[in-house]
Structure 1
């Protein structure tokens, strides 16, 4: 019989992880964490004006904030703003304050007093940069406040983070400690890398210039990374809609599929190519500037203008990709899956899988690489959206599916050596290993 985990189990695990960490701040006791997580868990079960609660809480010793910390003088850095007086940490107060504390823009600052009683001492602003980094919409890593951050991401769903490192997730009655990095290792990664690689001739045609084999390899590596980022960003956006959805990446857009809205949309692919062009031109222009500096010559007006134009082209291309990703994500709001090519060209949405034959079992892997430790589950145990993806991947091994449940859980599905494999709680955020955690824990987590 499967064990049902509680906020107390989350507190025990997080307390154990923090005890092994190298954080400088005073480490909260397990009873304090129990109060923190239990209050947040039961808050997540409530509604306010018919809306589910979403809020982020940062465990921050506000009295120990060092204004001289490196980077704290930046205009876009976070700041703590106190409540006067402090507010009791309770379900009622969290529900009310959640309306004013959008997780994308702010976080509630919580800490305990000398009697180990939790209070909401204030608010932290500028968290939009933290969220943007996690969601691949910002390249530079901003400073991050506090000891740990806990996010209510759905009914009974708590995510606990240390900086950009995920410690654990309580997903209703399950405790998630592992986040398979299927995009970096294993058959999912291999499938995407193989399918997104352009031939040498195709890349030369796209860029209208001759390329060496080494340059072709580098270009394909960059494209692969942007495709992975784009898939992650689309899945995260679908997750934010709280209604579920599915993506199917395949090369056959007709067999065993019924598409209600056929649409040819290739702007994700073209945006990635535009970014690659801007990056390449940036390197070429940097070489030109370096040559002129060696000669101690002044930069010509033409070269300066070209540099500025290319800089703007890079910004425009990144903005184009943001817009394209949001466009694609919104297609999932219609019943049915979104149909894509490996280069993320949209072929249609509102697509229904007509194949009905299910595999006898589905193998669930906790690692990005399937192993003998994979567990076997009856395919009929899952809902219609999952079952149809199982049936399609079984019949079409050269395909890859992603399913986002209404509760926000994201699963990857693929046929591997005749077995339909599924990976749960896959890594989609831009998580980073924290230097505050022992290295062997990194390997376990990711």
Structure 2
């Protein structure tokens, strides 16, 4: 029987990975007794519901002295940290934006209140690891994210240190979507380089003063949010992104739309807003200018989130959601009638194990078939059990990457 990990097993990983490599600064990791109390309280809260609503929130072990006063909502009487308190407070927080703050008061762990952290869009991604620029957390701040029943993610400041999911301890690793020397990373980097300004047709990277990494990060964040939203609905689904148009013979579109703006336009607008916020002065005399820049980031963030939600909801329809390189909806309820050749296999890119394609269900085989037919396509399969796979043909051979969101 496989060993099932519990919060106490996270302590060793935290001690091993808490301090960044080559860092000479002292570590602010709390003592083991405090760590265990924080982890176990979050773990027990994750297993509880309120009015059938799952508990999802972020708990930060941080003193109010380390944070900006304007972001704080302090309780007059701090509450003792318990699973019940976390379940009660979770609905008023937005995952990865409003955090629950706790610290020691008179030798006891207590919740001192809530605080805002960054913008709604900037800190939602587990793929890019993009850090926020506004209201950053202290470098040594310990945060524990309750992602779902029995699922915790522990971070040091902005950087994830370790994750507990499905009874397994998952150490941080370079995500396959962000490895630019690997097939998936190369594919998406090429798509981003090919984005054009809608007015002039010039390449965005050369005409727009934005760092390539920032644009790529937000592009990947959009994809991650689409997949995460589909997974959270538990109905399963599939998404195919194709750099080149697919003929009707390869992709039969049950439903098509007209006048749909590409998500890439929202991504570009959000990049512009972020650059404006970064360039805004921070002196008191320019407070109005900075507030306008922050409002622009919030507005572009909300527009991007609406677009992501629209795409993800379409996955509930039988068939795939088909997007082009600008993340524009080409169709949904899409069927791929091209059959796989007999005895076709697919390679697990992480383990090197080869599997017959006919061992998988119809949803998987449908995505396998279009990726086998088109080298310029990447497919994502979201199963009802929550697993998420990426699929791509590499030099004529099908590969898949499991656990894309883990």
Question: What TM-score results when the alignment is normalised by the length of structure 2?
Answer: 0.72
* 1:354–1:154 distance in 2 versus 1, CA, 3 Å: farther
Task: Work out whether residues 270 and 301 of structure 2, in 8 Å CA contact, stay in contact via their aligned partners in 1.
Answer: no
Bigger drift between 180-189 and 147-156 goes to 180-189
For residues 86 and 273 of structure 1, the distance between their equivalents in structure 2, rounded to whole angstroms, comes to 40
Higher relative contact order (CA 8 A, sep 6+): 1
Q: Who is 1:38 aligned against?
A: 40
Q: Who is 1:187 aligned against?
A: 183
Report the 3-state secondary structure (helix = DSSP H, G, I; strand = E; otherwise coil) of the residue aligned with 1:132: coil
Matches within 5 A, 1:396-415: 396-406=374-384, 410-415=388-393
Pairwise CA distance, 1:133 = 1.5
For residues 121 and 270 of structure 2, the distance between their equivalents in structure 1, rounded to whole angstroms, comes to 21
Q: Who is 1:298 aligned against?
A: none
Q: Who is 2:56 aligned against?
A: 54
Report the 3-state secondary structure (helix = DSSP H, G, I; strand = E; otherwise coil) of the residue aligned with 1:327: helix
Pairwise CA distance, 1:43 = 2.7
| Deviations 1:386-408 (CA, angstroms, capped at 9, x unpaired) | 44323432343331012344565
Pairwise CA distance, 1:156 = 2.1
Tell me which of 161, 165, 168 is aligned to 1:174: 168
* 1:41–1:313 distance in 2 versus 1, CA, 3 Å: closer
Task: Work out whether residues 346 and 399 of structure 2, in 8 Å CA contact, stay in contact via their aligned partners in 1.
Answer: no
Pairwise CA distance, 1:166 = 1.1
Pairwise CA distance, 1:322 = 4.8
1:231 is aligned to 2:227: no
Tell me which of 406, 420, 423 is aligned to 2:398: 420
For residues 43 and 57 of structure 2, the distance between their equivalents in structure 1, rounded to whole angstroms, comes to 11
Matches within 5 A, 1:25-424: 26-60=28-62, 62=63, 65-66=64-65, 72=68, 75=70, 77=71, 79=72, 81-82=74-75, 84=77, 86-89=79-82, 91-103=83-95, 106-111=98-103, 119-127=109-117, 129=118, 131-135=120-124, 140-144=133-137, 147-177=141-171, 178-185=173-180, 186-195=182-191, 198=194, 207-208=199-200, 215=206, 227-239=219-231, 241=233, 243-250=235-242, 251-268=245-262, 271=265, 275=269, 321-355=304-338, 357=340, 359-365=344-350, 374-376=352-354, 385-406=363-384, 410-424=388-402
Pairwise CA distance, 1:176 = 1.9
Bigger drift between 335-344 and 258-267 goes to 258-267
Q: Who is 1:435 aligned against?
A: none
Pairwise CA distance, 1:336 = 3.0
For residues 344 and 43 of structure 2, the distance between their equivalents in structure 1, rounded to whole angstroms, comes to 36
Question: What TM-score results when the alignment is normalised by the length of structure 1?
Answer: 0.67
For residues 15 and 237 of structure 2, the distance between their equivalents in structure 1, rounded to whole angstroms, comes to 35
* 1:391–1:23 distance in 2 versus 1, CA, 3 Å: farther
Q: Who is 2:6 aligned against?
A: 6
For residues 40 and 277 of structure 1, the distance between their equivalents in structure 2, rounded to whole angstroms, comes to 34
* 1:315–1:5 distance in 2 versus 1, CA, 3 Å: closer
For residues 253 and 319 of structure 1, the distance between their equivalents in structure 2, rounded to whole angstroms, comes to 34
* 1:153–1:318 distance in 2 versus 1, CA, 3 Å: closer
Pairwise CA distance, 1:163 = 1.5
Q: Who is 1:309 aligned against?
A: none
Report the 3-state secondary structure (helix = DSSP H, G, I; strand = E; otherwise coil) of the residue aligned with 1:397: coil
For residues 299 and 97 of structure 2, the distance between their equivalents in structure 1, rounded to whole angstroms, comes to 24
* 1:224–1:12 distance in 2 versus 1, CA, 3 Å: closer
5+ residue gaps, structure 2: 280-294
Task: Work out whether residues 7 and 36 of structure 2, in 8 Å CA contact, stay in contact via their aligned partners in 1.
Answer: yes
| Deviations 1:378-429 (CA, angstroms, capped at 9, x unpaired) | 657766544432343234333101234456554322121333322344479x
Report the 3-state secondary structure (helix = DSSP H, G, I; strand = E; otherwise coil) of the residue aligned with 2:122: helix
Number of residue-to-residue matches in the alignment: 374
* 1:113–1:172 distance in 2 versus 1, CA, 3 Å: farther
For residues 98 and 255 of structure 2, the distance between their equivalents in structure 1, rounded to whole angstroms, comes to 38
Max Rg structure: 1
Report the 3-state secondary structure (helix = DSSP H, G, I; strand = E; otherwise coil) of the residue aligned with 2:366: helix
